[in-house]
Amino acid sequence: MREVFTSSYVDDFQIKVPSNTWERNARLLEDQTNMIVARAQGLGLSFSIAKTELMHWRKRREGGPRSDSAVKIQGHTVEPAGTLVRWLGYWLSDNGETTPHFNKRLSLAQAAFWRIQRLSMPGKGLSPYGARRLAKGILLPTLLYGAEVLVPSRTMMGKMQKFWNRVARWVTNAFYSTNVTVLSVEACLAPIDLHVEQMKTMTAIRLVTAAPENKVATAMLPITFPTKEDFRVVTNRRLAFDENMGGMRPKTWSSVATTTQQSRLPMDEVAATAVTVFPDLKIPVKPSRLAQVTPEDAESYVKAKEGVRKRIWKKWVDWDYPPYYEYRPIFRDCWNFMTLAKFQAGRIPQMRAHKSYLNAHTDWSNQDRDVTCGRCGTEPETLEHVVKCPALSSARWGYPPDDFDVAPASETWKRGKKGLARVKGLVSYVIGNRINFPVRGGFFPFTRNADLAS
């Protein structure tokens, strides 16, 4: 019944033992470590005991005091590490809660954001295009490290989305009052829950399609999961099902029950996620230098990944958007004006999102102001109005009339030479005539920090 599980990554390794009591676990660990130490000494090697950490795992809602059983290795005593232990950048809590891990990730991402924010200020620096690339290339992987297998709680998801909204406002110069759904389109940054879903599903594909002889994680899948090869490493996962007296057993990977409160073991969750991608359970082997695969396998693998990307993209596009946003840049692309300088580019999303300095774009702080255009006094001052305001007709001389087409699917918003020329014309008209500028009468070139602050 007792099974020892050991895994290692380069020079880090872990030993796990299960039994009925923490005291017995401590003794089992001592036996194991002494065995390994003796083997290493035979090779003239030694371990750094100071870096050794001990953790007594417990169940999610297990009450009672925590064990203080220590482990003695070569005369040194290793005390339990408390409730958190760090392993390869994962902060694992003794009861499997993921919130401490994601809180750490969030503060790391916030620290990184704080440093890169000044590379692109509201009025100068990197273009929104460059800012968006930093967000996707640095902030997102920092924030979601571990989300491949650890599941963030709903509260944690909310916190991460709040941070992600701040990032999107930074990319676009959008006002704080901007609707967050609109914000995600304007910044071309999908919401966090979709990023998490994509990461989790892609990881599941990667793990179940690897050859179990080559990847220890794949070799830890439930034996009933139909990988091409049956090879598995010895783990103690079985104990969670067989020896779980009195507690709630984990849900198996193939269970389709939706009513139960049971949760799955991480590898069962991976298997269950894979079923959503390969419903007929024909699991291909992915092409690699170690695995010669059939053309059918290679195709099925590539198709599965492409299918996930398309599904997530569709979920995002099919959200409940204002009709203006029915047209969207193609998959993975962004709006053409995002390549313009930050200050220039920022005018556009503000006006399109109806949260700008234009009189008709009010929010809670100025909802009583007169919405009429100050230049002509005939109509509410909206984006659609400023491109045809009679008081600015002479200012439009010399511009091709197409530059003022701001309809949702207009060429003006599309990537390519034609669109870029149009949007540049529009922006030069907007800036040249101080449209959507903050202080009436005065000259104040940048968006005020107070309007963006979060």
Residues that bind Zn ion (CB under 5 A): 373, 375-376, 389
Distance in Å, CB of 154 to Zn ion, minimum: 46
Bridge partners (DSSP) of residue 380 are: 372
Residue 84 backbone phi and psi in degrees, to 5: -130, 140
Between the CA of residue 58 and those of 16, 61, 220, 265, 363, what are the distances in Å?
13, 8, 21, 14, 50
How is residue 409 written in tokens?
A: 């699917």
302 contacts 284 by C-beta, under 8 angstroms: no
CA distance 335 to 313: 16
Distance in Å, CB of 412 to Zn ion, minimum: 20
**Nearest CB to Zn ion, comparing residues 390 and 400:** 390
Distance in Å, CB of 365 to Zn ion, minimum: 23
Distance in Å, CB of 389 to Zn ion, minimum: 3
**Burial class, 219, CB count within 10 angstroms (exposed 0-12 / middle 13-18 / buried 19+):** buried
**Nearest CB to Zn ion, comparing residues 317 and 376:** 376
22 contacts 56 by C-beta, under 8 angstroms: yes
**Nearest CB to Zn ion, comparing residues 392 and 452:** 392
**Nearest CB to Zn ion, comparing residues 247 and 377:** 377
Distance in Å, CB of 385 to Zn ion, minimum: 6
**Nearest CB to Zn ion, comparing residues 338 and 373:** 373
Distance in Å, CB of 388 to Zn ion, minimum: 8
Distance in Å, CB of 375 to Zn ion, minimum: 4
Distance in Å, CB of 315 to Zn ion, minimum: 40
**Nearest CB to Zn ion, comparing residues 189 and 383:** 383
Distance in Å, CB of 386 to Zn ion, minimum: 7
How is residue 115 written in tokens?
A: 């440093």
**Nearest CB to Zn ion, comparing residues 147 and 389:** 389
CA distance 202 to 259: 26
**Nearest CB to Zn ion, comparing residues 309 and 375:** 375
Closest CA to 61 of 262, 308, 219: 262
412 contacts 402 by C-beta, under 8 angstroms: yes
Distance in Å, CB of 357 to Zn ion, minimum: 14
**Nearest CB to Zn ion, comparing residues 158 and 390:** 390
**Nearest CB to Zn ion, comparing residues 298 and 376:** 376
Torsion (CA) 212, 214, 218, 223 in degrees, nearest 10: 20
